[in-house]
Amino acid sequence: MEHISLAVIGGTGVYKLAQLDDVSSHQVETRYGTPSGPIRVGTLLGQRVAFLARHGEGHSLPPHKINYRANLAALQQIGAQRVLALNTVGGITEHFGPRVLACPDQLIDYTWGRISTLCDEPGTDVLHVDFGHPYTPMLRSKVLAAAKVTGVRLQDGGCYGATQGPRLETNAEIARMRRDGCDLVGMTGMPEASLARELGLDYACLAIVANWAAGCGDGDEITMAEVLANVDAASSGLPELIGELARG
């Protein structure tokens, strides 16, 4: 097992990691089943980094069908102890508009019916993990420091609301989330974050704001073309940031 400095999970619009060289592919099976696709391990700015496309490299898996347990277990099996999640999201509050890159520090889980714990497996211990700070504070600090070193503009903090999907939310649902204190809305933040905690992995999120959430923008219909264009723009500095983070 080689030393992996950092594992990155890519969301919608991020199906590979730019500037990853000397890439090898790993098809990993876990006790929880098969992950979303092959894990690509390569060198980024001198560091060995693993990458996994959360939805599959062809975006074939909707949020509620992703095997989050297998994804995280597979990354751990190949030697990763730190995971950076890239999540494509909608923006709710004023500082989280399209093309903003954010590092949230809180989340609220609105999902349902997903396997959300390792404790579903027969014979496993019942885990009551501390989840008051859902993202590992030390890793978050290092993400913020890497952004500062590389000059990548990053919004520090914010609350991520995880919804079921795959449909987008109604105006009323987003209004409720705003009242609840959510700044961002996405479909894949949970149970990924809590499973990482149960597995003992350090875990942080970089939220890529692709569009205004329902009722928060100019009222135009959200299109995938708009989403992908905004993701590309917001992601331009990610290779340098991730490479710096992997060194830390």
What CATH number has the domain bearing residue 69?
A: 3.40.50.1580
How far apart CA 37 and CA 1 sit, in angstroms, is 19
What pLDDT was estimated at residue 18? 78
Share of the chain above pLDDT 70, in %: 98
Count of other CB atoms within 10 angstroms of residue 141: 14
Share of the chain above pLDDT 90, in %: 75
Ranges of H-type helices in the chain: 68-77, 137-150, 171-180, 192-199, 224-234, 238-247
Residue 138 annotated as binding site: no
Asked whether residue 1 is assigned to any structural domain, the reply reads: no
* Whole-number average pLDDT of the chain: 93
Q: What residues make up the domain containing 204? A: 6-121+131-247
Residue 43 contacts by C-beta under 8 Å, 6 or more apart in sequence? Answer: 20, 21, 22, 49
What pLDDT was estimated at residue 219? 67
Domains in the chain: how many in total? 1
Question: Which comes out higher in pLDDT, residue 180 or 5?
Answer: 180
Residue 211 annotated as binding site: yes
What pLDDT was estimated at residue 123? 80
Asked whether residue 154 is assigned to any structural domain, the reply reads: yes
Residue 15 has pLDDT above 80, yes or no: no
Q: How confident is the model at residue 11 (pLDDT cuts 50, 70, 90)?
A: confident
Question: Which comes out higher in pLDDT, residue 226 or 106?
Answer: 106
What b/e sequence results for 113-124 when a residue is b if at least 16 CB atoms lie within 10 Å of its CB, and e otherwise? ebebbbeeeeee
Residue 187 annotated as binding site: yes
pTM: 0.94
* Mean pLDDT of the region 185-201: 97
Residue 188 has pLDDT above 90, yes or no: yes
Asked whether residue 230 is assigned to any structural domain, the reply reads: yes
What pLDDT was estimated at residue 66? 97
Asked whether residue 126 is assigned to any structural domain, the reply reads: no
What pLDDT was estimated at residue 42? 93
Q: How confident is the model at residue 45 (pLDDT cuts 50, 70, 90)?
A: confident
Residue 175 annotated as binding site: no
Residue 1 has pLDDT above 70, yes or no: no
What pLDDT was estimated at residue 40? 94
3 state DSSP class of 81 = coil
Please write the tens of the pLDDT for every residue from 53-99: 999 888 889 999 999 999 999 999 999 999 999 999 999 999 999 99
Please write the tens of the pLDDT for every residue from 130-169: 999 999 999 999 999 999 999 999 999 999 999 999 999 9
